[in-house]
Amino acid sequence: MARSLFHSEHNVQYYNSRIDTFPYSLYRSIKYFTLENKNLPLNRFINNLNIKLYANAKSGKVRSYFREYEAISVQTLSKRSYYDKLSHLRRIQVPINNESDNSHLRTSYDYCYFCPFETPESKDVGFVKYFGLSVLVSPDFSM
């Protein structure tokens, strides 16, 4: 399904790019922080680690092996209604420059996978997508 989002000759460089999930990015932060600060006393080490983890969680940065995505930031969860909350949780942002003229990404949504009613009407058309309410995402699925 990810390949269908990026199916274009302009986006071939994104095929093998790895975007870390937040838990793995957090794991890498702890790992590298531990390697850099292993000579600190334990209480100071724990305080510094807590500050770094809090800053990562607050900023919402997602790291890739090649760059950091700061545009994918943490937003306040919309709680106007139950369905508004669900649609906010199922928002997807494709990590591609929104200035590009990629007609395949801006086409209509796949039936039953993406919601056709919640589409932005600006330069982000096709880049910010919403899962349908009945879609289930499983990390254990393979094709």
Per-residue confidence (pLDDT) for residue 129, from 0 to 100: 60
Instruction: Report whether 5 contacts 114 (CB < 8 A).
Output: no
Per-residue confidence (pLDDT) for residue 38, from 0 to 100: 78
Q: Could you report the per-residue pLDDT of 76-92, keeping only the tens digit for each?
A: 666 777 766 766 666 66
Per-residue confidence (pLDDT) for residue 54, from 0 to 100: 72
Residues of the chain with pLDDT under 70: 1-26, 56-78, 83-84, 86-143
**Within a 10 A sphere around the Cβ of 101, how many other Cβ atoms?**
7
Q: How far apart are the first and last CA of the chain?
A: 10
Query: Which pTM was predicted?
Result: 0.30
Per-domain boundaries in the chain: 22-63
Per-residue confidence (pLDDT) for residue 43, from 0 to 100: 83
Tally of CA atoms within 13 A in the half-sphere of 80 that contains its CB: 5
Per-residue confidence (pLDDT) for residue 27, from 0 to 100: 74
Per-residue confidence (pLDDT) for residue 44, from 0 to 100: 84
Q: What angle do CA 9, 13, 17 make, to 5 degrees?
A: 140
Coil, helix or strand at residue 107? coil
Per-residue confidence (pLDDT) for residue 93, from 0 to 100: 60
